[in-house]
Amino acid sequence: MNPPDCINQTDRMNPADRVLTEQNFLFRGMDFASVEYMLEHSAIRNLAAGENLLQPDTPNHHLYLILEGKLSVHLAAQETLEHTLLLAEECAGEISLVDGKHPSALVVSTGSTRVLAVPHDTVWSLVDHSHEIARNLLEIIAGRMRHDNMALIASQNKKLQFEHQAYVDALTGIYNRHWMDNAFPRALQRCVLNKLPFAVMVVDIDHFKRVNDTHGHLVGDLALKTVARCMAENLRPHDLLVRYGGEEFAVFLPDADLDEARIIATRLRVVIADTEIRCEDVSFKVTISIGITPAKHEDTLENLIGEADQALYRAKELGRNRVEIFG
């Protein structure tokens, strides 16, 4: 049975359609005249703009050679987005024809399009008859798979880029609070399960508003980046550092008891206090205050951050540039 809106090819093709068919990739590098007679049961299908040629819920029994026009391919799960565009001399339906399954994509005409519908049995007769056609069909399928793989890689890279943008603070390059909400609870749970000590620190740059008011926000941004870099370089590789908000940072210290947490915090405080921040003719230093809360395996991250915040507040009340422990 012919597809709808088809013209039977019981006679030889007209010269124009013969040329268009011969130019298709399927017949590349071979004598088309030697197989032309095998297309007698094929039919030309005229597609209007927006008409579906292939769809995932309908089985396919033809290989469609594009004579004129364009076909837009949309993946089943993303029908609103164009996956690729097929042009004259290309074909559609080859993969579903070979594996016998429903098409994996929606294929739609983008305008007035003409295709030659070659029945399933005719395709296999052509393959049996000609090594060139068999090779060309394999190349078409391989090219389609390569294109799909490249599209998948590009999509995955874009996804990773979006995830990076969602989780990384654009100014300092360290993780942000959104990432912390996912990573810190998992780290806490691992410490609880493995019966390891841990601590949470909240760090704040002292008198940061004064830096912005005195030197401007660009210099203030440089100060933030410098402090973030110093902290990242002087924490242990498995410590988790985030920009908590504004000039405030949060740190999760897995496998660190209170004494080790105090040593780490003191090292950060000293290193940052000794680091000079330079921007053109401006040169200055900043200090930080740190609040620490030690492990409480039965507590939530929210409570631990709150306790570290209280310790930080006490550090500021007692003069800043110091480390305070909650409790």
At residue 176, the pLDDT reads: 94
Q: Is there a domain that residue 74 lies in?
A: yes
The tens place of each residue's pLDDT in the chain, 327 residues long, gives 445 455 444 345 688 999 999 999 999 999 999 999 999 999 999 999 999 999 998 999 999 999 999 999 887 655 556 678 899 999 999 988 888 888 888 999 999 999 999 999 999 999 999 999 999 998 988 887 776 666 566 656 666 666 666 789 989 999 999 999 989 999 999 999 999 999 999 999 999 999 999 999 999 999 999 999 999 999 999 999 999 989 999 999 999 999 999 999 999 999 999 999 998 888 999 999 999 998 877 788 899 999 999 999 999 999 999 999 998
β-strands 248-254, 240-245 pairing: antiparallel
Query: Are residues 192 and 307 part of one domain?
Result: yes
> In the annotation, is 248 catalytic?
no
Query: What is the distance between the alpha carbons of residues 245 and 242, in angstroms, rounded to a whole number?
Result: 9
Query: Are residues 191 and 138 part of one domain?
Result: no
| DSSP H helical ranges for 172-300 | 177-193, 208-215, 217-234, 258-274
Domain boundary among 112, 127, 158: 158
Catalytic residue among 90, 247, 307, 324: 247
Return all residues near 321 (Cβ < 8 A) that are at least 6 apart. Answer: 206, 269, 273, 287, 288, 289
Is residue 42 within 8 A of residue 117, CB to CB? The reply is yes
Query: Are residues 197 and 149 part of one domain?
Result: no
Q: Is there a domain that residue 164 lies in?
A: no
Cα-atom radius of gyration of the chain, to the nearest Å? 33
Q: Is there a domain that residue 224 lies in?
A: yes
Polymer length of the chain:
327
Query: Are residues 220 and 154 part of one domain?
Result: no
At residue 2, the pLDDT reads: 46
Q: Is there a domain that residue 165 lies in?
A: no
Q: Domain with 30 in it: what CATH number?
A: 2.60.120.10
Q: Is there a domain that residue 124 lies in?
A: yes
Query: What domain range includes position 217?
Result: 175-325
Query: Are residues 15 and 133 part of one domain?
Result: yes
Domain boundary among 132, 158, 184: 158
In 110-212, the DSSP E strands lie at 113-119, 175-176, 198-205
Query: Which run of H or E residues covers position 123?
Result: helix 120-129
Q: Domain with 189 in it: what CATH number?
A: 3.30.70.270
Closest listed residue to residue 258, CA positions, set 302, 300, 307: 307
Q: Is there a domain that residue 281 lies in?
A: yes
Query: Are residues 148 and 11 part of one domain?
Result: yes
Q: How far out from the chain centre does Cα 35 lie?
A: 46
Query: Are residues 129 and 13 part of one domain?
Result: yes
Query: Are residues 248 and 107 part of one domain?
Result: no
Q: Is there a domain that residue 210 lies in?
A: yes
Closest listed residue to residue 251, CA positions, set 290, 207, 209: 290
Query: Are residues 315 and 202 part of one domain?
Result: yes
Q: How far out from the chain centre does Cα 31 lie?
A: 46
Q: Is there a domain that residue 269 lies in?
A: yes
Count how many domains the chain has. 2
Domain boundary among 125, 158, 191: 158
Query: Are residues 310 and 183 part of one domain?
Result: yes
Which pTM value belongs to this model?
Answer: 0.57
Return all residues near 327 (Cβ < 8 A) that are at least 6 apart. Answer: 293, 294, 307
Query: Are residues 73 and 136 part of one domain?
Result: yes
At residue 279, the pLDDT reads: 87
Query: Are residues 148 and 195 part of one domain?
Result: no
Task: Phi first, then psi: give them for residue 184, nearest 5 degrees.
Answer: -60, -45
